[in-house]
């Protein structure tokens, strides 16, 4: 029974990691941009949620109504005014600029909010649990977080494969020059992709902030988790990203259960094993 | 030409870095006419089309379309004005299905005669294969899809870059047989071709490029083989 609980916990946390990863994967897929600031943007979203919930006096989940559009707007502006200028044949400039952005966000948050860790209070839902069977319980909040993660992945897939916007994303990723001939302004398409990515980041950030304490220095670790989930799942596959998040979550949960100090290590080990055995990831997207 | 031309190119230069590919090209295209641009490899034919479509930088006043200067415009803005390019090598999007490739061609929402249904009437094989990945089509079918994708934008000017390239003669004839239906909708066509015979049959007027300059221009029926050969090879 204990192990069932452990694995269940891991699966539910894995949903959060999948949300970290989905935004990262989206951006890389559309414009070959590795966003080093992704983790810090998650933490930024958490702080924006903190400010929103405190000033408006609403719960974190209701706060999503404000935080998601705000982050999407930040994403569009960030891409339009900064990152679009760095894109080109060379992968290095966007890497350096997002690295710089990461430093700026961390220090900006440190100045505004200090290094003290904070947490979003969601109220009674935080401690509510559902009994699934003899000795097997799940928290309502982790379960909700997991369902939202599945919904986000399904929603992204729907956008990607069923809407004109997704068509524009895929076409621009295939060939930016030819996409322009179709009347698509690459800069606008890229900015929309970043807006979508940061909308997902906003959801992930709020759940992160409700789940545990956070502080301005936590971004890079979230980035690593996101990266690992993407690589485990296989580049370009959204369901693979979800699977990658779950594997990472379960590995961490098992590690933590064996020894509390092994939580992070176990996740990294699972990542290294996949990288060694299947470098292309578990569900790589086959490109014709 | 009684009315103002649809497209007027005037003293167009084009560069790849320090290398100059076009030297003061001037040409005019009237509404609804078919014009062939012929020339040897490296004569600058594709560069000319890319410049018109906005994929290459040019002086703002070097290219005028319907009384507006479009020389310095980005490709997406040129497309919105009503110029569609069928790129060399087709350039279909491999991640998109055949139908999605056509739909994205029409994503600007320019109204006109060409709809998904009309494209499938023009090229029935595309309708049969609409759900396949564009990479699953044969070369000729890919060329039809690329042509259909450009038509979906309901352009006033259709630029075709070597649509016969790498295709069997029978397939080329098949595709050229559809051009009258496109012209009938009032669309002007510029055909860049190495296949001179095919181009001369389809077009009313011909420009022959040689090393980035216009070597010969005239009505297709007036040009002698000797004149074309001389302009083509520079002998």
Which of B 155-174 lie inside 8 A of A, CB atoms? none
Burial of B18 (0-12, 13-18, 19+ CB in 10 A): exposed
Contact yes or no for B155/B66 (Cβ under 8 A): no
Distance between A283 CA and the closest CA of chain B, angstroms: 17
Instruction: Provide, as residue numbers in chain A, all residues whose Cβ is less than 8 Å from the Cβ of B50.
Output: none
Instruction: Provide, as residue numbers in chain B, all residues whose Cβ is less than 8 Å from the Cβ of A30.
Output: none
Distance between B149 CA and the closest CA of chain A, angstroms: 9
The phi, psi pair for A70, rounded to 5°, reads -60, -45
Q: What is the ipTM of this complex?
A: 0.92
Contact A183 B100 (CB under 8 A): no
Contact B76 A180 (CB under 8 A): yes
Measured from the Cβ of residue B72, the count of other Cβ atoms closer than 10 Å reads 14
Per-residue pLDDT in tens (0 to 9) along chain A, 288 residues: 789 999 999 999 999 999 999 999 999 999 989 999 999 999 999 999 999 999 999 999 999 999 999 999 999 999 999 999 999 888 899 999 999 999 999 999 999 999 999 999 988 888 899 988 888 889 999 999 999 999 999 999 999 999 999 999 999 999 999 999 999 999 999 999 999 999 999 999 999 999 989 999 999 999 999 999 999 998 888 999 999 999 999 999 999 999 999 999 999 999 999 999 998 888 887 543
CA distance B172 to B186: 22
**Cβ-nearest to A183 among B55, B76, B103:** B76
Global pTM reads 0.93
**Cβ-nearest to A183 among B91, B96, B107:** B107
Give the SS3 label for residue B193: strand
Instruction: Provide, as residue numbers in chain B, all residues whose Cβ is less than 8 Å from the Cβ of A170.
Output: 93, 95-96
Of B193, B216, B161, residue with least CA distance to B40: B193
Measured from the Cβ of residue A102, the count of other Cβ atoms closer than 10 Å reads 20
Pick from A163, A182, A286 the residue to mutate for testing the B interface (most B CBs within 10 Å). Answer: A182
């Amino acid at each position: 029974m204990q192990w069932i609980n452990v694995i269940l916990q891991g699966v539910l946390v894995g949903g959060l990691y999948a949300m970290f990863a989905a935004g990262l994967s989206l951006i890389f897929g559309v414009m070959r941009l590795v966003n080093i600031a992704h983790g810090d943007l998650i933490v930024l979203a958490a702080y924006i949620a903190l400010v929103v919930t405190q000033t408006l006096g609403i719960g974190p989940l209701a706060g999503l109504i404000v935080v998601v559009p705000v982050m999407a707007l930040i994403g569009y502006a960030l891409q339009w005014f900064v990152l679009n200028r760095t894109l080109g044949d060379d992968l290095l400039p966007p890497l350096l600029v997002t690295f710089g952005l990461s430093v700026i966000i961390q220090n900006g948050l440190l100045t505004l909010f200090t290094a003290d860790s904070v947490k979003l209070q969601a109220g009674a839902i935080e401690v509510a649990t559902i009994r699934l069977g003899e000795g097997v319980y799940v928290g309502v909040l982790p379960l909700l977080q997991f369902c939202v993660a599945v919904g986000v992945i399904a929603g992204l897939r729907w956008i990607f494969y069923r809407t004109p916007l997704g068509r524009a994303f895929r076409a621009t990723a295939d060939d930016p020059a030819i996409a322009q001939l179709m009347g698509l302004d690459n800069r606008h398409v890229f900015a929309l992709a970043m807006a979508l990515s940061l909308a997902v980041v906003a959801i992930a950030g709020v759940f992160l902030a409700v789940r545990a304490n956070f502080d301005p220095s936590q971004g890079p670790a979230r980035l690593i988790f996101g990266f690992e989930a993407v690589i485990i799942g296989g580049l370009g596959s959204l369901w693979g990203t979800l699977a990658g998040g779950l594997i990472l979550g379960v590995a961490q949960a098992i590690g933590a259960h064996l020894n509390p100090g092994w939580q992070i290590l176990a996740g990294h080990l699972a990542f290294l094993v996949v990288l060694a055995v299947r470098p292309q990831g578990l569900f790589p997207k086959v490109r014709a | 030409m009684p009315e103002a031309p649809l497209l007027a190119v005037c003293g167009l230069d084009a560069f790849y870095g320090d290398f100059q590919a076009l030297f003061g090209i001037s040409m005019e295209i009237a509404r609804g006419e078919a014009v062939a641009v012929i020339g040897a490899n490296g004569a600058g034919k594709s560069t000319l089309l890319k410049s018109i479509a906005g994929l290459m930088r040019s002086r703002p006043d070097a290219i005028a379309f319907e009384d507006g200067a479009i020389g310095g415009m980005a490709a997406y803005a040129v497309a919105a004005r009503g110029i569609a390019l069928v790129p060399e090598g087709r350039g279909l999007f491999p991640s998109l299905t055949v139908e999605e490739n056509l739909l994205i061609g029409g994503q600007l929402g320019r109204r006109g005669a060409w709809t998904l249904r009309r494209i499938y009437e023009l090229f029935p094989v595309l309708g049969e294969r609409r759900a396949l990945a564009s990479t699953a089509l044969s070369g000729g079918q890919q060329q039809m899809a690329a042509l259909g994708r450009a038509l979906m934008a309901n352009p006033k000017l259709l630029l075709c870059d070597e649509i016969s390239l790498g295709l069997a003669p029978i397939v080329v004839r098949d595709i050229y047989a559809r051009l009258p239906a496109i012209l009938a909708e009032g669309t002007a066509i510029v055909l860049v071709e190495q296949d001179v015979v095919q181009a001369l049959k389809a077009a009313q007027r011909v420009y022959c490029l040689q090393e980035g300059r216009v070597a010969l221009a005239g009505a297709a029926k007036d040009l002698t083989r000797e004149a074309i050969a001389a302009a083509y090879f520079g002998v």
